[in-house]
Amino acid sequence: MTRPVCVDIDLAAIRHNYLVCKQKAPNSRTFAVIKADAYGHGSLVVAQALADVADGFALLNIEDALRLRDAGITQPILLLEGPFDTAEVTAMSEYRLICAIHSDHQLDWLRHAPLPRPLEVWLKLNSGMNRLGFKPQRLPELLATLASLPAIMPTTVMTHFATADDARGIATQWPSFTAATRSCGLALSAANSAALFAYPECFADVVRPGLVLYGASPFDGQTGAELGLKPAMTLRADIIAVQELQTGDSVGYGSLFCAERPMRIGVVACGYADGYPRIVPTGTPVSVDGQPSRTIGRVSMDMLTVDLTELPLAGVGSRVELWGPNVPIEWVAAAAGTLAYELMCAITARVPRRLLS
């Protein structure tokens, strides 16, 4: 017996979505971005599900990368933020990880770290996001520096887009990146999910989709399904109690919701301590035994309430989908004033993960 809340991870959907990405950019390599525990889906299980098709993987923590190597993943693994200290440079070379570098202090670590094997390096340029990266005009000088380090093999120049998902697109960053990298002789990588679905001109040598692998859309007002993707994550829980309301009865903390007619509501074993956003208002879509319904009142720590008035067959034990194939995560994210990214990453450790393949 266990509390009836669960997150289903559909690995076949992730494979499907990866292959959609490959089809979009058939002449590029597609590195699957599996940082943040594969956006909450599990970085090792996702890597294993893609092991026979993926051109490479990208993530942040060296610990996660080593776990992939220990599990027999042989593809290139790119560490998107590079080393966080000198020792990591040595470990990256030992485990054949690709080291992105974005700052001078990392260059210093490259100079001084003992390298058991040659280390592949990607240079990260700041083309306008102003988060990580060297100024584009420094590229020739940086390449000269790297050329003087015998065990360092620079292969690729990368950048990251700030607005590929909205109307501004890549209009300023892409020209600045291409101008700086013209005739540098290295491979280029720029596209995230949004750019991969909107701007073929920037596919270059390596594309780096994250969100779309998990079946969500990076674009406001559009769902992943509308882009040909399959949602990979289903958050679901069962109804554990039913209440009959009279007109005037209120529900939950703050008595936020007040019944304007007799109603039947179901109490669902999922709350904000599971990662469902507390902020969503009454009316946020859910699905009860496959039928559309809505949340009622305030989400509490361990429970939330849904409307069963029109669903007379639903009751204790009914299955409620909070997001998944029947309830696009983008709808819940919009109700919460956030993005699918944040909801996926916010599922908490107490929610068991069930793998579907």
Among 17, 193, 234, 318, binds ligand PLP (CB under 6 A): 193
Q: Based on CB atoms, which residue is closest to ligand PLP, 215 or 277?
A: 215
Is 90:113 a contact under the CB 8 Å cutoff? yes
Q: Based on CB atoms, which residue is closest to ligand PLP, 211 or 303?
A: 211
Per the annotation, the verdict on 124 as an active-site residue is no
Minimum distance, C-beta of residue 267 to ligand PLP, in the bound complex (Å): 34
Per the annotation, the verdict on 272 as an active-site residue is no
Cα atoms in the 13 Å half-sphere on the side-chain side of 13: 23
Lay out the site mask for ligand PLP across 213-252 (x = CB under 6 A, - = otherwise).
-----x----------------------------------
Minimum distance, C-beta of residue 263 to ligand PLP, in the bound complex (Å): 40
Burial 210-249 (b: 16+ CB within 10 A, else e): bbbbbbbbbbeeebbeebebbbbbbbbbbbbeeeebeeee
Residue with tokens 């090792």: 44
What is the largest distance, in Å, between two alpha-carbon atoms of the chain?
79
Among 29, 41, 102, 160, binds ligand PLP (CB under 6 A): 160
Q: Which region among 62-70, 144-152, 208-216, 281-289 touches ligand PLP (by CB under 6 A)? A: 208-216
Q: CA-to-CA distance for 45 and 355, rounded, in angstroms?
A: 8
- Among residues 6, 5, 12, 4, the alpha carbon closest in space to that of 231 is found at 12
Q: How many CB atoms lie within 10 A of CB 334?
A: 17
Tell me how far the alpha carbon of residue 352 is from its chain's centroid.
Answer: 19
Q: Does 154 bind ligand PLP (CB under 6 A)?
A: no
Between the CA of residue 66 and those of 2, 59, 267, what are the distances in Å? 32, 11, 42
Q: Which region among 11-19, 43-51, 87-95, 203-211 touches ligand PLP (by CB under 6 A)? A: 203-211
Q: Is position 301 annotated in a ligand binding site?
A: yes
In one-letter notation, the amino acid at residue 135 is K
Q: CA-to-CA distance for 173 and 18, rounded, in angstroms?
A: 25
Q: Does 285 bind ligand PLP (CB under 6 A)?
A: no
Q: Based on CB atoms, which residue is closest to ligand PLP, 15 or 35?
A: 35
Q: Does 102 bind ligand PLP (CB under 6 A)?
A: no
Q: How many CB atoms lie within 10 A of CB 356?
A: 11
Minimum distance, C-beta of residue 347 to ligand PLP, in the bound complex (Å): 16
Among 50, 80, 152, 306, binds ligand PLP (CB under 6 A): 80
Q: Which region among 19-27, 82-90, 202-210, 269-277 touches ligand PLP (by CB under 6 A)? A: 202-210
Q: Based on CB atoms, which residue is closest to ligand PLP, 5 or 21?
A: 21
Q: Does 208 bind ligand PLP (CB under 6 A)?
A: yes
The dihedral built from the CA positions of residue 279, 213, 47 and 32, taken in this order, carries a sign that is negative
Minimum distance, C-beta of residue 246 to ligand PLP, in the bound complex (Å): 47
Secondary structure letter of residue 352 according to DSSP: P
Among residues 39, 95, 124, 253, which one is catalytic? 253
Is 332:341 a contact under the CB 8 Å cutoff? no
Minimum distance, C-beta of residue 58 to ligand PLP, in the bound complex (Å): 7
Minimum distance, C-beta of residue 39 to ligand PLP, in the bound complex (Å): 7
Q: Does 24 bind ligand PLP (CB under 6 A)?
A: no
Q: CA-to-CA distance for 191 and 199, rounded, in angstroms?
A: 8
Two structure tokens written together for 200: 């073929």
Contacts of 101 (CB under 8 A, 6+ apart): 82, 83, 107, 110, 121, 122, 123, 124
Q: Is position 153 annotated in a ligand binding site?
A: no
Strands 233-245 and 263-268: antiparallel
Q: Does 33 bind ligand PLP (CB under 6 A)?
A: yes
Residue list, annotated binding site for substrate: 131, 301
Binding site for ligand PLP (CB under 6 A): 33, 35, 80, 160, 192-193, 208-211, 218
> Which residues are designated catalytic?
35, 253
